[in-house]
Amino acid sequence: MKILYGVPGEGLGHATRSKVVIGHLLGQGHEVQVVSSSRAYQLLAAAFPGGLVHEIRGFHLAYKNITVSKSRTAALTLRSAPESLRVNFGKYRELLRDFEPEVVISDFESFSYYYAQWKGLPVVSIDNMQIISRATLDVAVPASERGNLLLARRIVQAKLPRSHHYLISTFFRLPLCKERSTLVPPILRPEVLALEPTRGGHVLVYQSATTQQNLVAQLQQLPGQEFRVYGFNREESHGNVQLRAFSEGGFLADLASARAVVTNGGFSLISEAVYLRKPICAVPIPAQFEQFLNAAQVEKLGYGRHFASLTPDNLKAFLYDLSGFEASLQTYEQRGNEELFAALEEVLAGVNK
């Protein structure tokens, strides 16, 4: 089949997951063209050279003190929208001359969806966000998160409405409440699937919002524990705290050998840690309900702890219970990406009919 694949540029989680699916589709003989933006475009263009990946204008989040700023994000979007629309639809006119897709696959990317609406094409959604609107939640949502839940649900419902099918990647199973939806395990990179996990002496810390400047001081209050910290992108030693510049090989080696992982509520790293059976301390970025949900599920499933903030006392409580978290993680099962690929091929076969 001829497939147009849309990948958002915000963060690299969508790009690394989509890279796996695109590689599978090409391996199955499908003809694929990709649209993306920002760093995701750069990653995918390097992975799939030869004009397969096209750059468009994307949507970006604005942060204020770690928290996503709704007002700043809206202002940024409004300022860039006219030019983005002009560039993107120019790119689609260019694609139209050389490529007539039969189906659009979107990893929570809007402009490929608009193209599908314009051309009357079926859309297949592949992402983790749709679980917010297409499944029944089974965790308590505190009053402080209810507004974030309503906002997230509205955004998700408006993102890719009336798609042909929704493949929802998740490390936790929830009852579905809408049709044309299928839960599949998280998409894992080949580099992660190739890892042989061991239990080393260090804790891997991933800090994506580097405005949390007191992180090193917090970790230094546990001098008996070694922390290897990614996110500040520099090499420094602060006693028991080692700051690491980003290196994919170094990061994966530290992940595979970690005794535990401290991170925000981001789906990609949590999914990889669960697959490798690493206990997780999740501190979600405020005002991002999807991160709250991931962190809450980590605690509900017994895979680790969910805290609103990172403090020495919280870390001590988490590290004290590692053996229990390890026992719970032993029950998790996933056979690579086989289930996702089978579900995707079934959906595409249905579209072809």
Question: Is residue 77 located within the same domain as residue 127?
Answer: yes
Q: Which of 148, 186, 144, 181 is nearest to 162 (CA)?
A: 181
Question: Is residue 68 located within the same domain as residue 55?
Answer: yes
Over residues 255-301, the pLDDT tens digits come to 999 999 999 999 999 999 999 999 999 999 999 999 999 999 999 99
Range of 103's domain? 2-188+336-352
pLDDT for the residue numbered 352? 81
Low-confidence ranges of the chain (pLDDT < 50): 60-71, 73-82
- Print the SS3 string covering the chain: CEEEEECCCCCCHHHHHHHHHHHHHHHCCCEEEEEECHHHHHHHHHHCCCCCEEECCCCCCCEECCEECHHHHHHHHHHHHHHHHHHHHHHHHHHHHHCCCCEEEECCCHHHHHHHHHHCCCEEEEECCCHHHHECCCCCCCHHHHHHHHHHHHHHHHHCCCCCEEEEECCCCCCECCCCEEEECCCCCHHHHCCCCCCCCEEEEECCCCCCCCHHHHHCCCCCCEEEEECCCCCEEECCEEEECCCHHHHHHHHHHCCEEEECCCHHHHHHHHHCCCCEEECCCCCCHHHHHHHHHHHHCCCEEECCCCCHHHHHHHHHCHHHHHHHHCCCCCCCCHHHHHHHHHHHHHHHC
Question: Is residue 28 located within the same domain as residue 162?
Answer: yes
pLDDT for the residue numbered 76? 39
The CATH number of the domain holding residue 54 is 3.40.50.2000
pLDDT for the residue numbered 10? 75
Question: Is residue 48 located within the same domain as residue 197?
Answer: no
Tally of structural domains, the chain: 2
| pTM for this prediction | 0.89
Question: Is residue 93 located within the same domain as residue 172?
Answer: yes
Question: Is residue 65 located within the same domain as residue 195?
Answer: no
Question: Is residue 150 located within the same domain as residue 291?
Answer: no
Question: Is residue 224 located within the same domain as residue 159?
Answer: no
Question: Is residue 15 located within the same domain as residue 132?
Answer: yes
Question: Is residue 169 located within the same domain as residue 310?
Answer: no
pLDDT for the residue numbered 69? 46
Residue 144 CB partners (closer than 8 Å, separation 6+): none
Question: Is residue 175 located within the same domain as residue 264?
Answer: no
pLDDT for the residue numbered 78? 42
Question: Is residue 214 located within the same domain as residue 160?
Answer: no
